[in-house]
Amino acid sequence: MPGACSVRILRALYNAGVIAALRRLSRLVLLAAHLASGVALALFALPLVGEPARDRIIARWSRRLLAILRVRVRIEASPALPDGALLVCNHVSWIDIYLILAARRVRFVSKSEVRRWPVVGWLAHRVGTLFLERGRRADTRRINAEMGALMRTGHWVAVFPEGTTSDGRGLKRFLPSLLQPAVALNCPVVPAALRYRTPDGRYSAAPAYIDDISLWASLTRILDAGGLIAELRFGAPIPPDGHRRELAAAAERAVATLLDAAPARCTSPNTRPTGGLGAASADNPPRTPADPPDAPR
């Protein structure tokens, strides 16, 4: 009977919804426990071990986080360089940071607001994140000096030169202000590209942190995606020859090649961007460099 059939369908949908909610809840419990373990490691383990051990702990913690979120990683080996370098990468999601940390140890540049976030900001500070006051040229100079000091001592520093996140299908114009330390120190720039796919290889928009989506909505969308594949590729190091604008253009082309996408500055050669971050001057500091998402709203 049609009525009985409708009841069975509704019951099946209800049961599927309950199962999905329980699965999501179990992942959230695991995630909360993992964050707590991160706090414990930052308090009691990281201060007591040397830098190589710190790097391994951070990489393992990042891989475990991605596993809890049901994100499988496919990472190519990064270039072997004897000294410091500047890593530049496209920016899709707040989980980009953990994908890169799962590959190798870098120091990120983040907006200063992140430092004030409960737990997340504290953890970012404990693992050596540099915090930038956006819109202040003097603070950009300060961050450039700190980046230079790190690269001078053999560390890698990572920035997202697009200055904001995208849906992962294209590339925005690279802003050059945070590439100046590489030019000043003659440090190579390492291009990297990341993308997210479904388990069967199709493009996935689930991780994209765009359109004012809240952290909670982003997190649940990732958990509800049914599993993701995160791919991270590295390109050949770029020598820092010339002006930082030229370096930004070369890095943008290299990342676009890794993504099989057209560089943003090549999509409309006779016009300037008309809105958003792309409308900023090429020398203006990025508004949202290398940062995790805003706090839950």
8 Å CB contact between 20 and 27: no
**Of 61-70, 179-188, 191-200, 263-272, which gets the smallest average pLDDT?**
263-272
User: pLDDT-derived band of residue 286, with 50, 70 and 90 as boundaries?
Assistant: very low
Handedness of CA 214, 220, 223, 228 (dihedral sign): negative
pLDDT, average across residues 253-268 = 79
pLDDT, average across residues 119-126 = 85
8 Å CB contact between 75 and 102: yes
pLDDT in tens, 5-56: 655 555 555 455 566 678 888 999 999 999 999 999 999 999 999 999 999 9
pLDDT at 279 over 60: no
8 Å CB contact between 187 and 83: yes
Nearest-CA neighbor of 147 among 292, 293, 289?
289
- pLDDT value of position 23: 82
Distance CA 136, CA 134 (A): 6
State the chain's mean pLDDT as an integer: 83
8 Å CB contact between 101 and 78: no
pLDDT, average across residues 275-282 = 30
Give the pairing of strands 189-197 and 228-234.
antiparallel
pLDDT, average across residues 167-189 = 93
Distance CA 3, CA 1 (A): 5
DSSP state of 170: S
8 Å CB contact between 108 and 97: yes
Strand ranges, E, within 205-263: 228-234
Distance CA 19, CA 1 (A): 27
pLDDT, average across residues 110-127 = 81
Distance CA 217, CA 296 (A): 9
User: pLDDT-derived band of residue 182, with 50, 70 and 90 as boundaries?
Assistant: very high
Q: Which residue has the higher pLDDT, 9 or 204?
A: 204
